[in-house]
Amino acid sequence: MNILLESQRCLDRLLADESWPQMSQAARSVFEIRLRKEFPKLFANLFALYGHRYDFYYYLQQLLASLAQAYHERPRALKLKDKQRQVDPHWYQSEDMLGMACYVDLFAGNIKQLKAKIPYLLDLGVTYLHLMPLYDSPKGDSDGGYAVSDYRKVNEQLGTVDDLKELAKALEKAGISLVLDFVFNHTSDEHRWAKAAQAGELEYQEYFHMFDDRTIPDQYEQHLREIFPQVRRGNYTWNEKANKWVWTTFNSFQWDLNYANPAVFNAITEEMLFLANLGCEALRLDALAFIWKEMGTNCENQDKAHTLIQAFNSCLQITAPAVVFKSEAIVHPDEVLKYIAKDECQLSYNPLLMALIWESLATRNTQLLSQSMRKSFTISPDCAWVNYVRCHDDIGWTFDDEVAQNLGINGSDHRQFLNQFYTGRFEGSFASGVAFAENPSNGDCRVCGSLASLAGLEKAIQANNPQHIQHAIARILMIHSIILSIGGVPLLYSGDELGLLNDYSYQQDSSKQHDDRWVHRIGLSDQALQQASHPQSAQFAISQGLKKLISLRQEHAIFGQSATTIIDADSSHVFAFNRQNNAGEQLLVLCNFSESPQQLSSQILRSLGSQSSKNIINEQTLITNNSHIELQPYEVMWLVKN
């Protein structure tokens, strides 16, 4: 069969579908042009997934009708945005980009009140706002909202869908792109599909992975990881009502969707387009590594997971092309890269950079960071990294064991060391973190804690040690300086702009105490804001220092669209890289990851191509000669040609 020919023949038939909504001729023609362009790819991907089924064409027809309907419902202002983005598809590569992720309630109370916080965001320079999942979800523990009961309903505590639409408009007016979660690997057990499945409806039981006994689960289980071993062992949960085992990769109340069923693909596409039509400009694809299950594999990063995401992407290109995907693949670095492509995910979290920044802080050695970035930083020029140091989740040490091996580092021993270091069990560690998801079978764990606490501020303040406080502040600013300069969208996690410390109050809350990630999900209180306004406080130094770095980034085009090259510095404590753009501008970044001064040969400045260079952070001039340049403890230099 010739797929291209077949897809064209099929499309001609589908275009005659009379169940589509009545559109104006102009609207219909825009839709048709996009559909014709994207359809061969969409068809090929869906055919690879579902072509073997007798009902393939039925589902295809149903899908196109949904796309037409969602396009028809897409508000005019958003259609305009679609057009604007077409002429500026690489908007996320701009030096102006600065992201922030926050929980609506912790940051502002509710959605309406968040609108009043827009000036705060603007003052910081934020242009991209990721709101943690704010959909209807089970009362009590809902995995921080990642168990969705209704994608079309906002959690009552936070507001309504209308509030969210209003907020999207207000943000757009302020030049801030709204980012929402697309939690599509699973729904909550209270979603209407899951309820129907529990009531015994076969059609909906096929929306999930449900089994009468342990035979098949046990076969799968031989190859599966456990993600939250602290709450439940294994990947399945017995459901009394349905009298079946249900696949639950995460918490027992999060039911994995069955994408081998085309009805699920169609249904979730409708939910996705509903979110797109609310006015968000990026969708964060939660847990996307897990969406395709294949017996005999670990059921992560399967080829068909990519096929599915590309198919979803085509649906967006046809209906809401202003919206881009952000990949949340917190997996092996080689697998992370596979999700990043113009027709798959245009944006991706950079978990490798995140983990190795912390690794270098602990070891004071930047070799693993440098070698790993050299291997894995370059991505398609159409795409961008989302660089972060902390987020709402734990830290997992996802580096490549082979890269480590080449440096004489044993991967699993090193992970054990890092866990001990960041949970404060390693003597002399500056960090105050909490172990998370400890696996009793193999001793694995991951690390929680706020950026400031992990970087040493909590301990330093407790000990009332001014030098340690200074070091902690310098560490915090240095690691922020990396995400602000290395290339991509820097993403701050709300609270870190003020250096907030761990909040242990979750240990008293029965719906939170078993999930230590709450230690770093901290409310932005008036008290915290006040504290940060005292010039003597560490929080003041952090917030002012950070603001300065952000303004510098936004003032210089070199931080936007330009290539990144990792450089060897003649000190294993220094992380160095160069940025270079088409206009011939350059930036050299040097970061000292140790608490002792480091001397580098001034030859490193040569790459800038002039005798004299300027550190834009402190306006100091440096001369390339035969002597050395000195970096103070945890100092960063952003050097440009003078």
Which residues, 246 to 265, sit near ligand OTU by CB under 6 A?
Answer: 250
**Residue 61 or 302 with smaller CB distance to ligand OTU:** 302
**Residue 323 or 329 with smaller CB distance to ligand OTU:** 329
C-alpha separations of 109 from 105, 293, 310, 573 in Å:
4, 39, 36, 42
- What backbone torsions phi and psi does residue 107 show, to the nearest 5 degrees? -85, -40
| Smallest gap from residue 226 Cβ to ligand OTU (A) | 10
- What backbone torsions phi and psi does residue 149 show, to the nearest 5 degrees? -95, -25
Question: Among the candidate windows 386-394, 402-410, 523-531, 592-600, which touches ligand OTU by CB under 6 A?
Answer: 386-394
Q: Is 260 left (phi over 0), alpha (psi -120 to 50) or beta?
A: alpha
218 is catalytic: no
Cβ neighbours of residue 567 under 8 Å, at least 6 residues apart? 576, 577, 578, 588, 604, 607
Residue 503, interface with ligand OTU (CB under 6 A)?
no
The rounded distance, in Å, linking the Cα atoms of 638 and 586 is 10
Among 98, 131, 179, 330, binds ligand OTU (CB under 6 A): 330
Cβ neighbours of residue 418 under 8 Å, at least 6 residues apart? 358, 359, 362, 397, 447
Residue 331, interface with ligand OTU (CB under 6 A)?
yes
Question: Among the candidate windows 152-160, 387-395, 535-543, 592-600, which touches ligand OTU by CB under 6 A?
Answer: 387-395
**Residue 34 or 326 with smaller CB distance to ligand OTU:** 326
Residue 400, interface with ligand OTU (CB under 6 A)?
no
> Which class for 41: exposed (0-12), middle (13-18), buried (19 or more C-beta within 10 A)?
middle
Residue 189, interface with ligand OTU (CB under 6 A)?
no
Residue 489, interface with ligand OTU (CB under 6 A)?
no
Three-class SS state of 244:
strand
**Residue 185 in contact with residue 255, Cβ under 8 Å?**
no
The rounded distance, in Å, linking the Cα atoms of 441 and 418 is 19
Residue 354, interface with ligand OTU (CB under 6 A)?
no
Q: Which residue is it, tokens 């230590």?
A: 516
The DSSP element (H or E) to which 313 belongs, if any, is: helix 303-319
Cβ neighbours of residue 424 under 8 Å, at least 6 residues apart? 431, 432, 433, 459
Question: Among the candidate windows 26-34, 151-159, 285-293, 581-589, which touches ligand OTU by CB under 6 A?
Answer: 285-293
Residue 146, interface with ligand OTU (CB under 6 A)?
yes
**Residue 289 or 519 with smaller CB distance to ligand OTU:** 289
**Residue 50 or 349 with smaller CB distance to ligand OTU:** 349
Which residues, 165 to 184, sit near ligand OTU by CB under 6 A?
Answer: 183
**Residue 396 or 633 with smaller CB distance to ligand OTU:** 396
**Residue 118 in contact with residue 176, Cβ under 8 Å?**
yes
> Which residue in the list 286, 496, 595, 635 is annotated as catalytic?
286
Tell me the residue nearest to ligand OTU as measured from the CB.
146
**Residue 132 or 168 with smaller CB distance to ligand OTU:** 132
Question: Among the candidate windows 41-49, 161-169, 282-290, 467-475, which touches ligand OTU by CB under 6 A?
Answer: 282-290
> Which residue in the list 38, 163, 328, 359 is annotated as catalytic?
328
| Smallest gap from residue 154 Cβ to ligand OTU (A) | 18
**Residue 64 in contact with residue 14, Cβ under 8 Å?**
yes
- What backbone torsions phi and psi does residue 568 show, to the nearest 5 degrees? -80, 120
| Smallest gap from residue 517 Cβ to ligand OTU (A) | 7
Which residues, 203 to 232, sit near ligand OTU by CB under 6 A?
Answer: 227
Three-class SS state of 638:
strand
Cβ neighbours of residue 149 under 8 Å, at least 6 residues apart? 135, 136, 137, 138, 187, 188, 190, 191
**Residue 321 or 396 with smaller CB distance to ligand OTU:** 396
The rounded distance, in Å, linking the Cα atoms of 196 and 318 is 31
Instruction: Give 344-398 as a DSSP string.
Output: SBSEEE-HHHHHHHHHHHHHS--HHHHHHHHHH----TT-EEEEES--SS-B---
**Residue 330 or 604 with smaller CB distance to ligand OTU:** 330
Residue 394, interface with ligand OTU (CB under 6 A)?
yes
| Smallest gap from residue 616 Cβ to ligand OTU (A) | 35
Among 51, 89, 144, 411, binds ligand OTU (CB under 6 A): 144
| Smallest gap from residue 423 Cβ to ligand OTU (A) | 16
Residue 328, interface with ligand OTU (CB under 6 A)?
yes
73 is catalytic: no
State the residues that interact with ligand OTU by CB under 6 A: 143-144, 146, 183, 227, 250, 286-287, 289, 328, 330-331, 392-394
The residues carrying an active-site annotation are 286, 328
